[in-house]
Amino acid sequence: MPMPSPCPCLWNRVCGGLAVLALIIGMRSPAVTQVPDPTGKAEQTADPLSNLNNASRMFYTLAKQQTLAKSGPVLIVVGDDLVLRKGEKRTQTRVIPEVYHTLKTFDHIPLALDVALTAHAGETPLGEDFLNELRDYRGLFPAAGERIDGAGLDAEQRARQKTIIAACAQFVDSVLDKRQCSPAERMNFTRKMTPLLMANASAGARAALDSLHRQVCEWKGQLTPQEWSELTVLVIGRQLPRKDNLAVQYFARLLGQAGEGKRLIYAEGLGDEPRALDLLATHLVDTQVGIDFFNDPNRMARDLLSDVTRDYLPLLLDQPR
């Protein structure tokens, strides 16, 4: 049976969402301003103070470049891949196995239904445009179900995916038939799905960690003990979810770290390797600045104005007017 094409309202929403996402990404953490001539004089303006500040920024930029060039090996977690940078040599390999994404795809079905129905909570009956979107989404289930047996899953995992997709299909059919879904019905559905979702999450995490660990052990064997002791890890990821990130937990335990810190850095919202390396360079330089000025390697991780702000705000805001 041919699969139905997405209805215009659903396609417009998707395109609109992608446009908003592109705008958000464009607004995040711009790259460090590059000095036009880093080997010569700073950019000259009519303002001598601006000229002095530009020259100061030039020194900072050059210091970051030189410090990064002299740093030890760097492991970078980016998407499905792990990158090892050692001097001029760069090696990249995929470490997240396909089974991880397969399990995640089936977990996304009940999650998608939950957020979609929550967004339309209180609408009785549900609007025709949204019902058409649900029909289109429901139409994708049969073909996805046919892929389960050939997706490289074990018997238990295959059975679980079939249970998930069958339960989701039954739930959507009920919503379409009644043209409504109460909060209690939605919650009953999600709570029944939770054990199945978490079983998939457990299997996916173990598969990802096993593959990651194999690759790290292989590369560790290629480094000297000194190089391993100087290794820094960059984890490129999103703002949410950030807490207890899988790769951060793994490398913290592997390196004997309490969490993020000198050797383990989470590059939040930086979607590419160059910007993550720039963050590492900033971290290295600012650590030395903190030691030199404040005898505290972590001082520059806090706003330089933080202490003064904390002390001044009671005087500014808490006084009688």
Distance CA 165, CA 139 (A): 12
pLDDT at 18 over 90: no
What is the total residue count of the chain?
321
Specify if 317 maps to a domain.
no
Closest listed residue to residue 3, CA positions, set 194, 120, 140: 140
pLDDT at 261 over 90: no
Distance CA 281, CA 303 (A): 18
Question: What confidence score (pLDDT) does residue 15 get?
Answer: 40
Specify if 143 maps to a domain.
yes
Specify if 14 maps to a domain.
no
Q: Are 114 and 190 in contact (CB under 8 A)?
A: yes
Q: Are residues 88 and 144 in the same domain?
A: no
Q: Are residues 265 and 279 in the same domain?
A: yes
Question: What confidence score (pLDDT) does residue 202 get?
Answer: 97
Question: What confidence score (pLDDT) does residue 215 get?
Answer: 98
Question: What confidence score (pLDDT) does residue 157 get?
Answer: 98
Where does the pLDDT of residue 27 fall: very low under 50, low under 70, confident under 90, or very high at 90 and above?
very low
Distance CA 11, CA 17 (A): 10
| N-terminal to C-terminal alpha carbon distance within the chain | 73
Where does the pLDDT of residue 65 fall: very low under 50, low under 70, confident under 90, or very high at 90 and above?
confident
Distance CA 312, CA 118 (A): 43
Question: What confidence score (pLDDT) does residue 41 get?
Answer: 57
Q: Are residues 88 and 236 in the same domain?
A: yes
Q: Are residues 113 and 180 in the same domain?
A: yes
Q: Are residues 128 and 172 in the same domain?
A: yes
Question: What confidence score (pLDDT) does residue 259 get?
Answer: 87
Cα dihedral sign, 207-208-210-214: positive
Please state whether beta strands 74-78 and 232-237 pair in parallel, antiparallel, or not at all (unpaired).
Answer: parallel
- Count of domains forming the chain: 2
Q: Which tens digits make up the pLDDT trace of 168-216?
A: 999 999 999 999 999 999 999 999 999 999 999 999 999 999 999 999 9
pLDDT at 241 over 90: no
Residue that finishes a domain, picked among 187, 203, 219: 203
- Most confident of the ranges 1-5, 85-89, 125-129, 234-238: 125-129
Q: What percent of the chain has pLDDT over 90?
A: 63
Domain that holds residue 278: 63-94+231-309
Report DSSP letters for 130-179, one per residue. Answer: HHHHHHHHHTTHHHHHHTGGGSS--HHHHHHHHHHHHHHHHHHHHHHHHT
Specify if 241 maps to a domain.
yes
Q: Which tens digits make up the pLDDT trace of 224-238?
A: 999 999 999 999 888
pLDDT at 33 over 90: no
Please state whether beta strands 232-237 and 89-94 pair in parallel, antiparallel, or not at all (unpaired).
Answer: unpaired
Query: Looking at 39-48, 210-219, 302-311, which range is the least confident one?
Result: 39-48
Specify if 185 maps to a domain.
yes
Question: What confidence score (pLDDT) does residue 321 get?
Answer: 67
Q: Are residues 130 and 196 in the same domain?
A: yes
Specify if 32 maps to a domain.
no
Q: Are residues 110 and 258 in the same domain?
A: no
3-state secondary structure of 266: strand
Where does the pLDDT of residue 155 fall: very low under 50, low under 70, confident under 90, or very high at 90 and above?
very high
Q: Which tens digits make up the pLDDT trace of 100-113?
A: 999 999 999 999 99
Q: Are residues 157 and 115 in the same domain?
A: yes
Cα dihedral sign, 10-14-16-17: positive
Burial tier of 14 (Cβ tally within 10 Å: 0-12, 13-18, 19+)? exposed
Specify if 267 maps to a domain.
yes
Q: Are residues 105 and 157 in the same domain?
A: yes
Q: Are residues 111 and 135 in the same domain?
A: yes
Specify if 16 maps to a domain.
no
Q: Are residues 244 and 291 in the same domain?
A: yes
Closest listed residue to residue 78, CA positions, set 212, 217, 240, 169: 212
Residue that finishes a domain, picked among 185, 203, 221: 203
Residue that finishes a domain, picked among 159, 188, 203: 203
Q: Are residues 129 and 174 in the same domain?
A: yes
Query: Looking at 34-48, 87-101, 178-192, 284-298, which range is the least confident one?
Result: 34-48
